[in-house]
Amino acid sequence: MTCSGAMTRSAVWGIRFSNGDSRRADRSDGVMKRLALVATVVLMLGLVYWIGFRPGLLIVRTNASGVTVLVDGTPYGETTIDGLAVEVSRGAHFLRLEREGFESIEESILVQGDSVVVVRMLAPLGMVFIEGGTFTMGDDDGAYSERPAHRVTLRPYFMDRTEVSMADYRRFRTRYTPPFDGDGLPATNVTWADATAFCRRQGKRLPTEAEWERACRGSDDRVYANGHRYDSTVARVGKGLYAGPVVVDEHPPGPEGIYHLTGNVWEWCSDWYDRGAYRNGDRDNPSGPREGTRRALRGGAWYSNERYARCTHRPGNFRASKDPSFGFRCAKDTFIE
């Protein structure tokens, strides 16, 4: 073998050795890259799992302290002035808020982000929370006293779920003699002054006309408390004069959960009555004229026709007047305690 031949073979073998090392290095790099990719995928999956399944924070705030917070039937504690923070899994849950002397609240909630804040107004027992805001009061196609239609802004408030019953009023006026028999019937033959006194004894007041109409019309500007149609099957209206009222929760409530805002008995409001009040009245929490000779009535009675049962219809009568078809319900300002 010549020297040049040995060198050639050596060179060839050297090249072969060099190529082998290169292939092994390439395979090693490929393995490392695959391992890095697997690690990245595992890390990402772990991150997604952590984000998707880590607990969320449900923060509950209420107008009243001492409210028990139950999530999916499990009590988690009571609210304070700052509320209550509850750690829950993400997703849909069933929330219940309860406290003695108040209406309970039940609703479904969805916890998606890191935290969800739920602010709720618990109404005193027998009352309904009515959100404030701006709504249209009056009717351009109505009677003179209903014109013009105008925008009114109200603070939130509470409204009695039903008319005041004979049983409740008799505890206030022990010598009260009702025109109809039945503890569950609305208290009638009650003057405006006596209705005002009853509400004050309860820590409440008569509603303003604006508050009454907002509760009746709701957020969708209903013509009647239960909808846009005059329907004697869902309200005590269109009956004979001597038919009389029915018990305060006889017919289905309106969307806000309030009974008989349309029909059954007329309801006293706190305002002095003025047929032209809408032409120059307040637009922000209106409470009616400063003086007058009559007080406002709303809602119609069991004998009211299609026109007089509308939410916008507004007659008035003397504050000392009594009538078997005149009743009332109370309202209350919202509060924080």
How confident is the model over 191-211, as a mean pLDDT? 98
For residue 21, the model assigns a pLDDT of 59
Residue 54 has pLDDT above 90, yes or no: no
Flag whether pLDDT at 88 surpasses 70.
yes
pLDDT at 17 over 90: no
Q: 157 with 285, same domain? A: yes
Run of H or E including 327:
strand 326-327
Q: What is the number of domains present in the chain?
A: 3
**Statement to judge: residues 12 and 140 lie in one domain:** no
- Residues 125 and 102: beta-carbon distance below 8 Å: yes
Q: What is the pLDDT of residue 71?
A: 97
Domain boundary among 52, 70, 85: 52
Top-confidence range, 28-42, 49-63, 92-106, 276-290: 92-106
| 73 and 141 fall within a common domain | no
Last-in-domain residue among 71, 103, 122: 122
| Number of residues assigned to the chain | 337
Examine the domain organization and report whether 214 and 178 are in the same domain: yes
Q: Find, among 225, 232, 215, 181, the residue nearest to 329 by Cα.
A: 215
Whether residues 111 and 217 share a domain: the answer is: no
Q: What confidence tens digit (pLDDT) does each residue in 321-335 have?
A: 999 999 999 999 998
Q: Which parts of the chain fold into alpha helices (H)?
A: 3-53, 166-172, 192-201, 209-217
- What CATH number is associated with residue 80? 2.60.40.1120
Q: Cα–Cα distance between 34 and 40 in angstroms, integer? A: 10
Is 85 found in the same domain as 196? no
Q: pTM value?
A: 0.83
Show which of 74, 102, 122 is a domain's final residue: 122
Show the domain range for 73: 56-122
Please indicate, yes or no, whether residues 111 and 61 belong to a single structural domain of this protein: yes
Q: What confidence tier does 289 reach under pLDDT thresholds 50, 70, 90?
A: very high
